[in-house]
Amino acid sequence: MKTSLKLLAALAFAFASLTSARAADIDGKWRAEFESQIGKQIYVFDLKAGADGKLTGKATFERIEQKGEAELKDGKIAKDEVSFAEIVKFQDQEIRVEYKGKLVGDELKLHRKVGDVAEYDIVAKREKLAAK
pLDDT in tens, 31-62: 999 999 989 999 999 999 998 999 999 999 99
**Tell me, what's the pLDDT at 64?**
84
pLDDT of 7 > 80? The answer is no
30 phi, psi to nearest 5 deg? -130, 130
Nearest partner of 114 among 130, 131, 128, 93, judged by Cα: 93
Q: Which domains does the chain have, with CATH numbers?
A: 2-126 (2.40.128.120)
- DSSP at 54: B
pLDDT of 14 > 90? The answer is no
**What are the Cα distances from residue 42, in Å, to 9, 15, 45, 121, 126?**
46, 37, 10, 14, 14
Quote the Cα angle for 61-126-117, to 5°: 40
Taking the C-alpha atoms of residue 28 and residue 57, their distance in angstroms, rounded to an integer, is 9
